Amino acid sequence: MSQEVRKAVFPAGGLGTRFLPATKVIPKEMLALVDKPIIQYGVEEAIASGIEHIIIVTGRGKGAMEDHFDHSFELDATLERRGKKELLAVSRSVASLARISYVRQKEPLGLGHAVLCAKELVGDEAFAVILPDDVIDADPPCLKQMLDVFDERGGSVLATMTIDGPGISAYGVLAGSPDPDNERIYNCTGMVEKPKLADAPSKQAIIGRYVLTPRVFELLEETTPGAGGEIQLTDGIKALLKEEKVFGYTFEGKRYDAGDKFGMLQATVEFALKRSDLGPQFREYLKGLAL
Ligand code: G1P
* Three-state DSSP state, 9: strand
Identify the band that residue 97 occupies on the pLDDT scale cut at 50, 70 and 90: confident
Is residue 55 one of the residues assigned to a domain?
Answer: yes
* Three-state DSSP state, 250: strand
Percent over 90 (pLDDT), the chain = 89
Is residue 223 one of the residues assigned to a domain?
Answer: yes
Q: What domain count does the chain have?
A: 1
Is residue 116 one of the residues assigned to a domain?
Answer: yes
Q: Per residue in 231-289, pLDDT tens?
A: 999 999 999 999 999 999 999 999 999 999 999 999 999 999 999 999 999 999 999 99
Q: What is the pLDDT of residue 75?
A: 93
Q: Is the pLDDT of residue 177 over 90?
A: yes
Ligand 1 atom at minimum distance from 14 CA: 15
Q: Which residues of 11-45 are buried (b: 16+ CB within 10 A; e: fewer)?
A: bbbbebebbeeebeebbbbbbebbebbbbbbbbeb
Q: For 63, left (φ over 0), alpha (ψ -120 to 50), or beta? A: alpha
Identify the band that residue 14 occupies on the pLDDT scale cut at 50, 70 and 90: confident
Is residue 125 one of the residues assigned to a domain?
Answer: yes
Is residue 264 one of the residues assigned to a domain?
Answer: no
CATH number of the structural domain spanning residue 129 = 3.90.550.10
Q: Is the pLDDT of residue 224 over 80?
A: yes
Ligand 1 atom at minimum distance from 227 CA: 8
Measured CA to CA, the distance from residue 164 to residue 64 in angstroms comes to 37
Is the C-beta atom of 208 inside 6 A of ligand 1?
A: yes
Is residue 218 one of the residues assigned to a domain?
Answer: yes
Atom 11 (ligand 1): residue with closest C-alpha?
208
Is the C-beta atom of 192 inside 6 A of ligand 1?
A: no
Is residue 281 one of the residues assigned to a domain?
Answer: no
Mutate which of 115, 131, 237 for ligand 1? The one with the most ligand atoms within 8 Å of its CB, which is 131
Mutate which of 105, 111, 160, 231 for ligand 1? The one with the most ligand atoms within 8 Å of its CB, which is 111
Residue 37: phi, psi to the nearest 5? -60, 145
Length of the chain in residues, anyone?
291
Is residue 61 one of the residues assigned to a domain?
Answer: yes
Ligand 1 atom at minimum distance from 172 CA: 9
The pTM (predicted TM-score) of the whole model is: 0.95
Cis peptide before 21 (omega within 30 of 0): yes
Atom 6 (ligand 1): residue with closest C-alpha?
207
Name which of 118, 133, 142, 113 is nearest 23 in CA terms: 133
Q: Is the pLDDT of residue 214 over 60?
A: yes
Measured CA to CA, the distance from residue 278 to residue 34 in angstroms comes to 10
Pair 190, 201: CB distance under 8 Å: yes
Is the C-beta atom of 56 inside 6 A of ligand 1?
A: no
Residue 203 belongs to domain spanning = 7-259
